[in-house]
Amino acid sequence: MGMLLPRIYPILDRSFIPDSERAVFLYRLGKSMADAGVTLLEYRDKDSTDAEVLADAVVLRKAMPPGQVKLILDDRVDVALAADFDGVHVDAGDLPVGDARILVGGNGIVGTSAGTEQGLREALKAPADYISFGPVFPTTTKQTTSRPMGVAGVRRFREIAGRNAVLVAAAGITLRTAPEVLDAGANVVAVAAAVFRTADPAAEFRRWTLELGEA
C-alpha cells in the first residue's frame, strides 16, 4: 500500500441516475464533476447486466478522460478493462484481490473492503492499494447489515492497520462529520448520497474540497 488518493472519494451509484436519457445525463454529470476537480471516482452498479454497466462506463470514460480522472468500477474487472477504467473495487464474494491485481496489472488500482477487525487483518495481507471500511455512520445508499462503527471504530481500524495502510472511510459521512473521521485516522472519506443527491453535485463537491482540502 501507499498509494496517494485524494481526500474525497466520490462514489456514483446507479440509483442516482435516471433511466430517461441516461447517457446524456451521465455524460453531463461526469463532465461537470471533472470540471469541478474530481480526480478519482468509483462507479457502482450492483444490479444491471454487464452490457448495461459497460454502456454507462464508456460514457463516463468519455466525459472523464484518462490523465484527468482515474475511474474505478465496482466488482466487474472484465467490464472495467473493456471500458478503459483505471481500476476496480472488489469486495468479499467478488473476484479475489490477488486475481484482480493480475488482471489490472501493477499500474492499475485495486481496492477492497473490510467491515470487521478480522476482515481488516485479512485485507492487509492482500495486494490492494487501499481498504475501504464501514459503515462509519448509518447509511441508506449501500445495503449492509453491519452496525455503524462510529469515530471510535475508525481509530481502532487505524491502530490495527498501522501508519502505511491507505484507509477509506465509507457510509453515512457528511461534511459535518468528515473532519472528525479524517482526524481519527482515515486517509480518505468516500461520499455517495452526500454529494450526488444534491441539486448540484459538482458544486457540492467543490464545497467539500474547500472545507477538507484536496490531499
Average pLDDT, the chain: 94
Does the pLDDT at position 215 exceed 60? no
What is the pLDDT, as a whole number, of residue 142? 59
Q: What is the distance between the alpha carbons of residues 131 and 105, in angstroms, rounded to a whole number?
A: 18
Tens-digit pLDDT profile for residues 137-153: 997 665 666 789 999 99
User: What are the structural domain ranges in the chain?
Assistant: 8-212
SS3 103: helix
Q: What is the distance between the alpha carbons of residues 29 and 15, in angstroms, rounded to a whole number?
A: 14
Roughly how many angstroms between the first and final C-alpha of the chain, as a whole number?
17
Segment among 53-62, 133-142, 188-197 with least mean pLDDT: 133-142
What is the pLDDT, as a whole number, of residue 141? 61
Tens-digit pLDDT profile for residues 163-185: 999 999 999 999 999 999 999 99
Q: What is the mean pLDDT of residues 183-196?
A: 97
Find all residues with CB under 8 Å of 12, minimum gap 6, and list them.
Answer: 29, 41, 42, 43, 44, 60, 192, 196
What is the pLDDT, as a whole number, of residue 209? 96
What is the pLDDT, as a whole number, of residue 60? 98
The answer to whether the pTM exceeds 0.85 is: yes
Q: What is the distance between the alpha carbons of residues 83 and 73, in angstroms, rounded to a whole number?
A: 10
What the block records as the C-alpha cell of 171 is 457510509
CATH 3.20.20.70 applies to domain 8-212: yes
Query: Binning pLDDT at 50, 70 and 90, where does residue 116 land?
Result: very high
Dihedral of alpha carbons 143, 34, 67, 185, sign: negative
What is the pLDDT, as a whole number, of residue 9? 95
Query: Binning pLDDT at 50, 70 and 90, where does residue 71 land?
Result: very high
> How do strand 70-74 and strand 40-44 relate by DSSP bridges?
parallel
Query: Binning pLDDT at 50, 70 and 90, where does residue 94 land?
Result: confident
Q: What is the distance between the alpha carbons of residues 212 and 215, in angstroms, rounded to a whole number?
A: 8
